[in-house]
C-alpha cells in the first residue's frame, strides 16, 4: 500500500519560515490547519506556534511545548533547531503553503473515498444518500 501523499520537507520548511517571519506565521495561521500537516510532531508544533500570543520564536516555542509536556513528543530542542534552520528565507512561502494544502486535500480525498466505498458496498445504504454524501464531502474538502 502506498503511503498517503505528504512532504516532510515542505512541512519543515514552512514551520521554519513561521519561526523566522511573523508575516509568514500570520499567513499560515489564516490558511492552514494542524491536520494539513502529515507528521503528528509537526501538527503539535504548528498548533503551539499559532497559539503563542507574544513572540513566536524558537525560545518561546520550546518553552510552551515544555510547559505542555510535549517537547519530547516533537523531538526535543534538537529537532526544533532543525526546524528553525529548515528555511533561510520566506521567499516562496505561498508556493509551500499551497503545496501543503494540496497534499492535505489529497489525503482527505483518499480517506473520504475509502469511507464512501465502504458505504457504497453496504446494500442497506440508499444510493442517492451515498451520492449526496459524496458530493458534500468532496465540496467540503475543496472549500
pLDDT in tens, 5-24: 999 999 999 999 999 999 99
User: CA 103, CA 65: separation in Å to the nearest integer?
Assistant: 26
Closest C-alpha to 47, from 58, 36, 55: 36
Whole-structure pTM value: 0.90
Query: What's the rounded mean pLDDT across residues 51-57?
Result: 91
Q: Which cell numbers hold the place of 91?
A: 521567499
Q: Is the pLDDT of residue 1 over 90?
A: no
Q: Which of 55-69, 95-109, 129-143 has the weakest average pLDDT?
A: 129-143
The share of the chain scoring above pLDDT 70, in percent, equals 100
Please report the pLDDT score of residue 54 as a whole number. Answer: 86
For residue 143, is pLDDT > 90? no
Instruction: Return the C-alpha cell found at 93.
Output: 512561502
% of the chain at pLDDT higher than 90: 93
Q: Is the alpha carbon torsion for 97, 103, 106, 107 positive or negative?
A: negative
Average pLDDT, the chain: 95
Taking residues 55-62, what's their average pLDDT? 94
Amino acid at each position: 500500500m502506498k503511503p498517503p501523499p505528504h512532504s516532510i520537507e515542505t512541512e519543515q520548511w514552512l514551520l521554519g519560515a513561521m519561526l523566522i517571519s511573523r508575516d509568514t506565521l500570520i499567513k499560515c495561521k489564516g490558511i492552514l490547519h494542524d491536520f494539513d500537516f502529515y507528521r503528528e510532531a509537526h501538527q503539535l508544533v504548528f498548533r503551539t506556534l499559532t497559539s503563542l500570543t507574544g513572540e513566536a520564536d524558537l525560545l518561546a516555542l520550546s518553552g510552551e511545548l515544555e510547559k505542555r509536556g510535549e517537547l519530547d513528543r516533537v523531538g526535543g530542542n534538537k529537532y526544533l533547531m532543525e526546524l528553525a534552520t529548515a528555511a533561510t528565507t520566506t521567499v516562496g512561502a505561498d508556493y509551500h503553503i499551497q503545496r501543503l494544502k494540496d497534499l492535505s486535500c489529497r489525503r482527505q480525498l483518499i480517506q473520504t473515498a475509502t469511507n464512501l466505498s465502504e458505504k457504497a458496498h453496504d446494500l442497506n445504504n440508499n444510493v442517492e444518500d451515498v451520492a449526496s454524501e459524496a458530493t458534500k464531502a468532496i465540496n467540503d474538502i475543496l472549500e
